[in-house]
Homo-oligomer: A and B are copies of this chain.
Amino acid sequence: MTATVSHPFDQAVHLTPEPDGTFGGQTSQDYANMVGPFGGVTAATLLRAVSRHPQRLGEPLSLTVNYASPIGDGPFVITADPAQTNRSTQHWIVTMTQDGVVKTTATAVFGTRRDTFAATEIAPPRAPEARTIAPQETPEFIPWMRNYEMRFTAGSFDVAPSGPANDSTTTLWVRDAPPRSLDHFSLTAISDVFVPRIMLRLGRVVPAGTVSLSIYFHADAATVVEQGDEPVLATARSQHFGAGFADQAAQLWTGAGTLLATSHQLVYFKA
């Protein structure tokens, strides 16, 4: 007989509904970053609060998360308010607090998908098949990375040996470790697996962190489920660095070339 042990990701995004309509959660040591939790898991947890809300309609369409102040290790409270519900879309305002202090704000749009014209104007990055690339060993001092199997084809996170670069592109095959079937929550977290692009440009570790992260979910639940625990092809680059801030544009693809999500973030840095 095998005991059922939930995946560390599911433990990290676990929420308890409280009588006042809020959700209680707890940061996970498995997904700790150098300071506070991995921002991708924070984003996934906020999305999960909306998904678990009794008034939620439909699937996630978009999510914007603002990292307002550092999250401390320990418990947090999430409030998810349905600001407006329409026929096919629903707009949410979400706030994460610790001891009454706002740590993260978010807005999310959920909605109903239907058959329409479909086309993808961008192409997936060229990359060898995942099985032909060895997984990168992840550093001990960034705990959350141990929960991802990463097979880099361009721009490893291990920036120092490479030195400065003229291009901030990273492309990798990535999935949860141990493997876990993809859902919109893990897809959210995976959209934030890229180390700040400024470190790739400079070839060294500098203070940096996400200020605001947006994700557009192009894949419906069925497409995400179909992906199973196969690696996602993820690519990201900055368009501009300057005055202490940089953007990052990312795309997440299935191995068959279906666009799962596009994502953007604004990152502060000191360099």
Binding site for B on A (CB under 8 A): 61-62, 64, 66, 68-69, 83-84, 86, 88-89, 91, 93, 95, 101-103, 105-107, 109, 111-122, 167-168, 198, 201-202, 211-212, 214, 216, 218, 220, 237-245, 247, 249, 251, 259, 262, 264, 266, 268-271
- Asked if A89 and B211 make an inter-chain contact with CB atoms under 8 angstroms apart, the answer reads yes
Q: Give min CB distance, A254 to chain B, whole Å.
A: 13
Q: Chain A at the B interface: mostly helix, strand, loop or mixed? A: strand
- Asked if A268 and B121 make an inter-chain contact with CB atoms under 8 angstroms apart, the answer reads no
Counted per complex, copies of this chain come to 2
Q: Give min CB distance, A41 to chain B, whole Å.
A: 20
- Asked if A120 and B243 make an inter-chain contact with CB atoms under 8 angstroms apart, the answer reads no
Complex-state Cα separation, A252 to B269, whole angstroms? 23
Instruction: With CB as the reference atom, state the residue of chain B lying closest to A239.
Output: B122
- Asked if B91 and A237 make an inter-chain contact with CB atoms under 8 angstroms apart, the answer reads no
The 9 A-B residue pairs whose C-beta atoms are closest, nearest first, are A118-B242, A113-B243, A68-B84, A68-B91, A64-B64, A83-B102, A62-B212, A117-B271, A122-B239
Chosen A-B contacts, 21 in total, with CB atoms closer than 8 Å, are A62-B212, A64-B64, A66-B107, A69-B86, A84-B105, A88-B244, A88-B268, A107-B107, A111-B244, A113-B243, A116-B242, A116-B243, A116-B271, A118-B243, A121-B168, A121-B238, A121-B240, A212-B214, A239-B262, A240-B262, A249-B262
Q: In the complex, what residues of B have CB within 8 A of residue A112's CB?
A: 244
Q: In the complex, what residues of B have CB within 8 A of residue A266's CB?
A: 61-62, 109, 216
Q: In the complex, what residues of B have CB within 8 A of residue A238's CB?
A: 121
Instruction: With CB as the reference atom, state the residue of chain B lying closest to A243.
Output: B113
Q: In the complex, what residues of B have CB within 8 A of residue A240's CB?
A: 119-122, 218, 259, 262
Complex-state Cα separation, A23 to B105, whole angstroms? 22
The interface centre, meaning the residue of A68, A69, A101, A107 with most chain B CB atoms within 10 A of its CB, is A68
